[in-house]
Amino acid sequence: MPQTIVTIPCLADNYAFLIHDAASGDTALVDAPEPGPILEELANRGWRLSHVLLTHHHWDHVDGLAGILEKHPAKVVGASADAERLPPLDVSLSEGDTLIIGGEAAQIIDVSGHTMGHIAFYFPDTGVVFTADSLMALGCGRLFEGPPEVMFDSLAKLAALPPQTIVCSGHEYTESNAKFAITVDPDNPALKQRVEKIRADRAANIPTVPSILSDELATNPFLRGHDPSVQAAVGMQGADPVEVFAEIRRRKDNF
């Protein structure tokens, strides 16, 4: 049976997620920005944490861990490649490894680029991928550590997942991402429609995360470097999609 996903707003614009298996009682937390909202959600639902899944080492994804573990002594899971920068890990994983949560095997995907050693957790039976600051709603994370080629390859892995996959990313950046996206894909009717919905949702304080991969494939400019209309909009007709991606990321950094 598919597992239950709960989205938890944290800090100013972060998201953490719970994934709960009713049959076993296993509950995994994806990232730990701050303890308060996460502990409150667990208490309200009567769930106990079995695992904490860390995507990368940035403070706004790990600083709440100690306070959470005081109440829920769960196994801490993270990337072998970034173990020296993460809090102490009980389980270290690399791309191609699997992790059993309840009755489902989560697949580990290396999505380096925002940071090196950033991982995503893909639950194929439930149809959800936790991408944190790699693929985001209408965007992708800044390239703090990896070159464009690395992030492009990481996004390509995620883009190859089934289109109906739910994408749980790490921040409520979608409205600002939408303002930028329309500048590099202005004639995309699906994007125009999505931008209007995002504006309405945010005006009503409705989260725009999670999103659906099919929507990202149709509207996210960071996944569309191969599209002739996007290439034309940035003056790079016929260019290598990696170079187009790099130019789009450069423009977003200066937007």
Residues making up the annotated binding site for Zn(2+) are: 56, 58, 60-61, 114, 133, 171
Cβ contacts of 203 within 8 Å, gap of 6 or more: none
Residue carrying the six token digits 């959800």: 128
Residue 88, class by beta-carbon neighbours within 10 Å (0-12 exposed, 13-18 middle, 19+ buried)? exposed
Contact 57, 85 (CB under 8 A): yes
DSSP structure string for 114-176: SSTT-EEEEETTTTEEEEETSEETTEE---SSS-HHHHHHHHHHHHTS-TT-EEEESB--HHH
Residue 99 identity: L
- Note the helical H segments in the chain: 35-45, 59-62, 65-71, 148-159, 174-184, 189-203, 213-219, 228-233, 241-253
Q: Which residues are annotated as a binding site?
A: 56, 58, 60-61, 114, 133, 171
Residue carrying the six token digits 């409150």: 40
Cα–Cα nearest to 55, from 154, 164, 156, 147: 154
